[in-house]
Each structure stands twice: as structure tokens, then as C-alpha cells.
């Protein structure tokens, strides 16, 4: 079973935070991104529906459950610009056009497995940005590996009576999130693995095609110590001219 197939149904009940979503959008809008916006790994669409008030959003996610949830939320709003949602893998954007801005939020980036995937992802994003287009993303910080060196455990019950157990642990450069959903007489498990990269390493990879406009911790901290996430804002360098046919 793919990740977020079951978690997607309960994602908002577990982690939805309207204040945090507002803050994400405030941070993004403070950089004045242009009208055409591609959101990768849009999840349940909380940031998407806020961005769609000012931008024509194209949003994708690997999980069909998440895409369906995000689309139905956007359809329930009355003041959004035209939007489109699709199931898709952010590592392959060949079906997509060229945008003023591309974003990948809330540690979705950390589902990329290794440096090779990260560089290919950065190259793919660059290929789908206009000259000067903005690329926003965040990543778990290295501090989180220490934080979850000791298991974090949470358990609870959803409104429909389904129970959940959620364990977060870390080893080497990986953060593991293990979910168990207990339905009436049936248990469904989801095992997530995210990789954490050093900010210097990410900077080096980004600099091939981007100018890094900002790298800070948790939205606005200059220091990258004692923070949960690194926040990157990058600007696409001019694309090389295509050779004449």
C-alpha cells in the first residue's frame, strides 16, 4: 500500500493547523511570486487553497487520497482563481509547463531519498521555472535527527472511532514515521522514511541553477541551529539559449 493512502484520510485530523498554514502563505507572499504557481506535494491542500486566492495554481501529489481531498476543499471556496489538481510524482514534471513560481512545503522535500534524487529534482524544478522564477521549499533540520534519536510516540482516536499510533524515530540521516491505524478488527500500517540533508550540501546543489535569496530557520531565524526546518527561497538563473534548429 502506498504512503498517505490511509494517512491521507486522517491527515487534517492529525496535523491541520490553520495558524501555521496562514504563516506559510504570509512567508511565500512576502516574496511576491508571480501569478502562475506550481505546488508540488500539495497534500490536503491547506496552503494550496490560500495561495489560490492570488495565483493560478497547478497542484500535484503522489497520493490520490490527498489530491481528492485538496481538490474538494478548493472547489468549496468561492473566491479562488482557476486551479487544477492532479495525481503525480514531483520527480517527473514532464507533463507540466513553465511557471513563475514552484513550491514544495512542509517537509515533502524530505521524501527524496539521496543526493542523486535531490539534484535531479532541483534540475527538474529549474527546467519548469521561467528565468528569475522563484523556488520555495523547506527541509527538516539536522537538529530533528537528534530530537528523534529517542522515539516520539503519540496515540489517539479519531471521530469515526479509528485508533492510531504514531511513532517517530531517527537513525543516521533518516527520520522514520510509523503509523498503525486500528479499524474495526483490521490494522493498516504505513511506514514513511524521510532523508535529512545538511544545508551546506543543499546550497551547493542549488547553486548550479539558482541564486539563493534566503536560507533561514523556521521562517525567520538567521541561525540554523535549534530550529525544526530550513526554509529556502531561490531564484532561477537565466536559462541557456536553446541552439538554433
Ligand X SMILES: C[S@@+](CC[C@H](N)C(=O)[O-])C[C@H]1O[C@@H](n2cnc3c(N)ncnc32)[C@H](O)[C@@H]1O
- List residues near ligand X by CB under 6 A: 4, 41-43, 46-47, 61-63, 66, 89-91, 105-108, 111
Q: Which residue, 46 or 100, has its beta carbon nearer to ligand X?
A: 46
Q: Which residue, 62 or 224, has its beta carbon nearer to ligand X?
A: 62
Q: Which residue is nearest to ligand X (CB)?
A: 43
Shortest distance, position 194 Cβ to ligand X, whole Å: 9
| Beta strands 56-61 and 83-87, pairing class | parallel
Spell 63-87 as b/e; 16+ CB within 10 A means b. Answer: bebbbbbbbebbeeeeebeebebee
Place of cell 511557471: 99
Q: Which residue, 49 or 56, has its beta carbon nearer to ligand X?
A: 49
Q: Which residue, 30 or 200, has its beta carbon nearer to ligand X?
A: 30
Q: What 3-state class would DSSP assign to 37? A: strand
Shortest distance, position 243 Cβ to ligand X, whole Å: 32
Measured CA distances, 184 to 65, 156, 164 (Å) = 21, 15, 12
Q: Which residue, 93 or 234, has its beta carbon nearer to ligand X?
A: 93
Element (H, E) at 125: helix 115-127
Shortest distance, position 241 Cβ to ligand X, whole Å: 31
Shortest distance, position 184 Cβ to ligand X, whole Å: 26
Determine contact, residues 112/195, Cβ cutoff 8 Å. yes
Shortest distance, position 199 Cβ to ligand X, whole Å: 19
Cell numbers given for 148: 528523534
Amino acid at each position: 500500500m502506498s504512503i498517505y493512502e490511509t494517512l491521507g484520510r486522517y491527515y487534517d485530523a492529525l496535523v491541520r493547523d490553520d495558524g501555521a498554514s496562514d504563516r506559510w502563505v504570509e512567508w511565500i507572499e512576502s516574496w511576491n511570486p508571480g501569478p502562475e504557481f506550481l505546488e508540488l506535494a500539495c497534500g490536503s491542500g491547506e496552503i494550496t487553497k490560500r495561495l489560490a486566492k492570488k495565483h493560478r495554481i497547478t497542484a500535484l501529489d503522489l497520493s490520490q487520497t490527498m489530491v481528492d481531498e485538496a481538490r474538494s476543499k478548493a472547489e468549496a471556496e468561492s473566491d479562488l482563481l482557476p486551479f487544477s489538481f492532479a495525481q503525480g510524482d514531483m520527480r517527473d514534471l514532464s507533463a507540466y509547463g513553465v511557471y513563475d513560481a514552484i513550491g514544495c512545503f512542509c517537509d515533502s522535500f524530505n521524501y527524496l531519498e539521496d543526493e542523486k534524487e535531490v539534484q535531479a529534482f532541483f534540475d527538474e524544478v529549474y527546467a519548469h521555472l521561467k528565468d528569475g522564477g522563484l523556488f520555495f521549499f523547506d527541509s527538516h533540520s539536522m537538529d530533528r535527527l537528534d530530537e528523534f534519536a529517542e522515539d516520539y510516540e503519540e496515540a489517539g482516536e479519531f471521530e469515526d472511532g479509528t485508533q492510531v499510533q504514531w511513532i517517530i524515530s531517527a537513525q543516521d540521516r533518516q527520520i522514520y514515521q510509523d503509523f498503525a491505524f486500528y479499524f474495526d478488527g483490521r490494522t493498516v500500517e504505513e511506514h514513511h522514511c524521510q532523508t535529512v540533508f545538511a544545508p551546506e550540501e543543499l546550497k551547493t546543489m542549488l547553486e548550479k541553477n539558482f541564486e539563493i535569496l534566503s536560507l533561514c530557520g523556521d521562517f525567520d531565524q538567521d541561525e540554523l541551529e535549534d530550529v525544526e526546518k530550513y526554509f529556502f527561497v531561490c531564484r532561477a538563473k537565466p536559462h541557456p539559449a536553446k541552439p538554433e534548429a
